[in-house]
Structure 1
Amino acid sequence: MDFITIKVTCDQALIDVLIAELFEVGFDSFQEFDDGFEGSCEQSQFDDGKVEALFSQYSNVAFTVKEQEKVNWNEEWEKNYDPIIVGDKCIVRASFHKPQPQFEYEIIVTPKMSFGTGHHATTYQVLDYQMTLDHKGKRVLDVGTGTGILAIMAEKRGASNIAATDIDDWCIENSEENFSLNDVKDVTLIKGQIAEVKDSDYDIVIANINKNVLMDQMNDYAERLVDKGHLILSGFYESDIEDLEKQANEIGLKKIHSTTRDKWAMLALEKRSI
């Protein structure tokens, strides 16, 4: 299937806002840069009029749109993908790399177009934190699973029941493949938004998305957590921690840990009955 990519040049302060607005008009995969970001969507979801109307509201923002054919991302990634070592216990590698059994956790991924291979600081920080958090026998929900890497780590850490969601067909396809590569069998994969998740008794909820989506959906995450359950958030900048923590406090979520890496942040919260 062909898809549309949009390259946006803008100030850092506008990136989260524009990503959230493009998400609302059909774009569902994003990659951020120092001077802006790129987004993509299936060609069938692209509405030129809505995109033009969106950007007409902003000055000093430039964008270009182009069509692209679906390419062999396995081949492209094989040329450029290097293993990632998280802490001293975990390695994330592609299937074409040699096994490295000296690591306690070895995660194999076929990256394709999905976000979340461990290279980005947000995914790295969540993986690092997961290795300190008790998953044994826990119920885990991974929202916006991407490659499925965080759900895979949850299974390796002993979670007994795992659900993973994503709105992107590429991510669903990629996570299914990665679950198979890592012999992960007991994951319920859901295509859709958080509203599609009907259960409400998860011990751990993970959401590595972006600030605007996290702010919009935080109450949904909290409603699906048991008391004393843990919410792990990432996909935002260090400067956003205060806003996220303030909203979290209002709905009974208290900060228990946070980390930063390359200006990106991870925030761990615990649900406490008000």
Structure 2
Amino acid sequence: MEFITIKVTCPSELIDVLIAELFEVGFDSFQEFESGFEGSCEHAQFDEEKVTVIFNSYPNVSFVIKEQEKVNWNEEWEKNYDPIIVGSSCIVRASFHEAQPQFQYQIVVTPKMSFGTGHHATTYQVLDYQMTLDHQGKKVLDVGTGTGILAIMAQKRGASSITATDIDEWCIENSKENFSLNDVEDVSLIQGQISEVNASGFDIIIANINKNVLLDQIKDYAGRLVEGGQLILSGFYEQDVKDLEVETGKHGLEKLKTTTRDKWAMLVLNKLSV
């Protein structure tokens, strides 16, 4: 399968904005860097005219577009991928690393072009919080599951029902592999938007995406969450917390806590009784 990658160099305050705009024109996998980000989409989804229109509005931004064949990500990541230790109890490692049974939670991943290996500060914070949150017998929804590791942690913590979604075929493929590697069964895996999740009554909803997508979908999360349930949001900068607090407050959600790591934030909310 051929795909298009776009490497964007831009000020940090424009990263979320540009990712959201590229998402709207077919790009569905992103990796952020200090000076910008890289995005990708299947060749069939690429519309050069729409991309040009977006970047014509940002004169201080540069970008390079490349056409690539599907990469052997296992081979590439094996050269560079190191295990990540979250807190004192969790390790996220690749399938080619040796087992480390001294950790209570050991999550094994097969690296592909999916976001969410634990190396990024947003994924790290959610995993760290999950280890303190009671999942026992809970119904969990993981929106934008990526590698699937947040859903994997939910099951390791005792969740009784897990639904995971992603719009990206790569992520669906990768999360299936990772569920199998971690003996995670009976996950309802949906390729598509939150609107395609017909179930509701979730005790815990996790969404590690980006600010603009989160703001657009808060109403969907709130409507699927039980009273007293928790919504865990990440994928945005600490300066964006206020905007998310304002929007979540419109839908009966009350802040429980925030954390930050490397300027990235996580926001935990509780759904109030009506």
Tell me which amino acid in the other structure corresponds to 1:8: V
Give the drift of 1:246: 1.2
Cα distance in 2, alignment partners of residues 196 and 13 from structure 1? 31
Give the match for residue 175 of structure 2: 175
Give the drift of 1:250: 1.5
> % of aligned pairs identical?
76
After superposition, residues 67-82 of structure 1 pair within 5 angstroms as 67-82=67-82
Tell me which amino acid in the other structure corresponds to 2:177: E
After superposition, residues 176-255 of structure 1 pair within 5 angstroms as 176-255=176-255
Tell whether 2:100 aligns with 1:100: yes
Cα distance in 2, alignment partners of residues 186 and 111 from structure 1? 22
Give the match for residue 132 of structure 1: 132
Give the match for residue 165 of structure 1: 165
Give the drift of 1:63: 1.0
Tell me which amino acid in the other structure corresponds to 2:204: I
Tell me which amino acid in the other structure corresponds to 2:72: N
Cα distance in 1, alignment partners of residues 84 and 11 from structure 2? 30
3-state SS, counterpart of residue 213 of structure 2: helix
Give the match for residue 65 of structure 2: 65
Task: Write out per-residue CA displacement over residues 77-128 of structure 1, whole angstroms, 9 at most, x where no aligned residue.
Answer: 1111111110000010111111111111000001111000000000000000
Cα distance in 1, alignment partners of residues 57 and 241 from structure 2? 27
Tell whether 2:34 aligns with 1:27: no
Cα distance in 2, alignment partners of residues 133 and 252 from structure 1? 21
Give the drift of 1:14: 1.1
Q: Which runs of 4+ in 1 moved over 6 A?
A: none
Cα distance in 2, alignment partners of residues 223 and 55 from structure 1? 35
Task: Write out per-residue CA displacement over residues 19-45 of structure 1, whole angstroms, 9 at most, x where no aligned residue.
Answer: 100000000011112221111001110
After superposition, residues 31-42 of structure 1 pair within 5 angstroms as 31-42=31-42
Cα distance in 1, alignment partners of residues 38 and 273 from structure 2? 40
Give the drift of 1:273: 2.5
Give the drift of 1:223: 0.4
Give the drift of 1:61: 1.2
Give the match for residue 17 of structure 1: 17
The alignment covers a number of residue pairs equal to 274
Q: Which runs of 5+ in 2 are unaligned?
A: none
Tell me which amino acid in the other structure corresponds to 1:273: S
Cα distance in 2, alignment partners of residues 251 and 74 from structure 1? 42
Cα distance in 1, alignment partners of residues 213 and 220 from structure 2? 11
Cα distance in 2, alignment partners of residues 178 and 32 from structure 1? 23
Give the match for residue 119 of structure 1: 119
Per the normalisation by structure 1, the TM-score is 0.99
3-state SS, counterpart of residue 107 of structure 1: strand
Pairwise CA RMSD of aligned residues?
A: 0.7
Task: Write out per-residue CA displacement over residues 168-188 of structure 1, whole angstroms, 9 at most, x where no aligned residue.
Answer: 010000000000000001100
Give the drift of 1:218: 0.7
